Chains A and B, each alone.
Chain A
Amino acid sequence: MSDATGTLLEVDDLRVDFPTRTGLVQAVRGVSFSLGRERLGIVGESGSGKSQTGRAIMGLTPPQALVSAKKLALDGIDLLAMPARQRRALRGKRIAMILQDPKYSLDPVMSIGRQIVETLRTHEKVSKGEARERALAMLEAVQIRDPARVFDLHPHEVSGGMGQRAMIAMMLIAGPELMIADEPTSALDVTVQLDVLGILDRLVSERGMGLIFISHDLRLVASFCDRVIVMYAGKVVEQLKASELREAQHPYTRGLLNCMPKIGYERHPLPVLDRKPEWAA
């Protein structure tokens, strides 16, 4: 947290539980962190609760889930206390989210342009013509070469990289202050990943936004974020600066780091992650 920019998001003791027939499943168990206008990475393996943390901040947990926190506040506004209607008005406007795979996260029967315009016109009273102009400008900002053409295309007619750029445009057009990117590049080709990340990075820093970058890719997070939170079994096991990731203390983080392949070294047998029950306690 830096005092110069102020705290954007405060999360204290966030819990997400799912009541099931076999008992309570605790997906997130007391996660706390605060975020300024910076890039925060959340890493962890599948089922560590990193995505559910992001969705709980968005207010997009499934209806049967129980979300509680000592504090969950955006810019000082208590998110959990506000009525659903106001919470909805915040989504897209002040907090937005980029999902993993544009193939599934864009509506297949609606043109890309209309989907972008839809976000804008939900939050601002603008004329159709102005909305179109701004959507085209936004498409240009995500480095789409021929915005007027792409505007009228449908999601199946564009590549994954272009789809994810359209997704970014759709989520950024109303000018949110906080962006949650949930595995935004995991579904993309490696060569496209860096392009998309570069665009996201530039837009986030240009607009002075806060970014929560959820990923299982430790290396990517380390090179892209300012700070990193490592989650395991619904809990934060370690929180550190990205630059200090090499000096991580927690055995789980060290285990994760140890699993990363190194060029020039052959290892047999491959290292396996150690999971100790006391870390989850």
Chain B
Amino acid sequence: MSAAENEVAAGRGSARAVAVASFIGRFLVIAITTYLGLLAVTFFIGRVIPIDPVLAVLGDRAPLNVVERTRREMGLDLPLIEQFYIYVKNALNGDFGTSVLTTNPVMTDIRRAFPATIELATLGTLIGSVIGVPLGVLAAVKRGSLIDQIVRVIGLIGYSVPIFWIGLLGLVLFYAKLQWVAFPARLDVVYEYTFTPITGFYLLDAAMQGQWDVFYDAYRHIVLPASLLGYFSLAYISRMTRSFMLNELSQEYIVAARAKGLSETRIIWGHALRNAAVPMVTVIALSYAGLLEGSVLTETVFSWPGIGLYITNSLQNADMNAVLGGTIVIGSVFIGINLLSDLLYKLLDPRTKTG
């Protein structure tokens, strides 16, 4: 590169730095406002639902003076605005109170449950995109062919079959009959007490500690639920990829690419998919966020101690601290993923940078 070109590149570099800084600035403003809104809504829900938090702690046989004292101790006699202030302050410190059900701080419970869900959802989304995107591309390119029909049927089944049913069938076949996978849990009982997780992602933890027997065991436990979640996101992702690809393949720049003499492979993967990737980011991000909410049914069928199972159990026991805490954490993750997909969008589509 010549000196002049270097100068141009450096000029562009500093312009880019400014753009990135302003983007991060906006990113933070949006994140903080949304997060405050989330806190306000959860606070409001916590106050209007007909569950008396004092009653939930003491039970309905406590003497009246104890009830009064506890109410004061919990700060429920303060003005609403002051209660909200305390609520926000605690939430920002990661303090969502104590779970009545488990008697742990809600945050401790979530720290244990959420990685389980993240691990499952990440694997599921990976499987869904790695298989779903090429399938969708293939279906679009060979529109109307047998492959297209097969992908359509795969997608249709994924849309319409309830996950708990196919999950139970999977367990009957792969666990009970074939013994290819392990029983519903995250680890075998043997490892449950000998293995100390670091991050909470068991596959990662086991690999980091070099405990390959644990890794293999964790893999045998996660492979079936992850594949099922992967299948369901694949159904969605492949359909969306197909329709985005059909749209791109009918554009004039595809004709121009053919007129240049490019190979079909290059046209499909280098031009059409590259353009279709822009809206695909949103699709995959939303599907991932959906899985992170905790697929309650999957986690129930596979006894997966994730956030979905945790919130459902808490809800059934009127454990409002846990429910609201879980909601806030999931909401925050949603905000994060949305902003991240915005960022990716900008990286993939040059039109959004200046427009």
Contacts and interface: CB of A to CB of B under 8 A. Distances in A.
B252 A104 contact: yes
Interface string A110-148: 110000001100110000000000000000000000001
A154 B261 contact: no
A109 B262 contact: no
A79 B274 CA distance: 31
A275 interface: no
A51 to B, nearest CB: 11
Interface stretch (A35-43, A83-91, A225-233): A83-91
A106 interface: yes
B255 interface: yes
Given A109-B274, A154-B350, A156-B350, A91 B256 contact: no
Given A110-B274, A156-B350, A104 B253 contact: yes
Contacts, number: 84
Given A104-B252, A105-B253, A154-B351, A148 B5 contact: yes
Contacts of A174: 261
Interface stretch (A11-19, A70-78, A94-102, A200-208): A94-102
B275 A118 contact: no
Nearest to B272: A107
A96 B351 CA distance: 28
A157 interface: yes
B33 interface: no
Interface residues of A, number: 34
Contacts of A154: 350-351
B76 interface: no
Interface string B247-280: 0000111011111111100100001001100100
B355 interface: yes
19 contacts: A90-B261, A91-B261, A93-B261, A96-B259, A96-B260, A99-B256, A99-B259, A101-B252, A104-B253, A108-B253, A108-B275, A108-B349, A108-B351, A109-B349, A110-B271, A110-B274, A122-B262, A123-B261, A171-B259
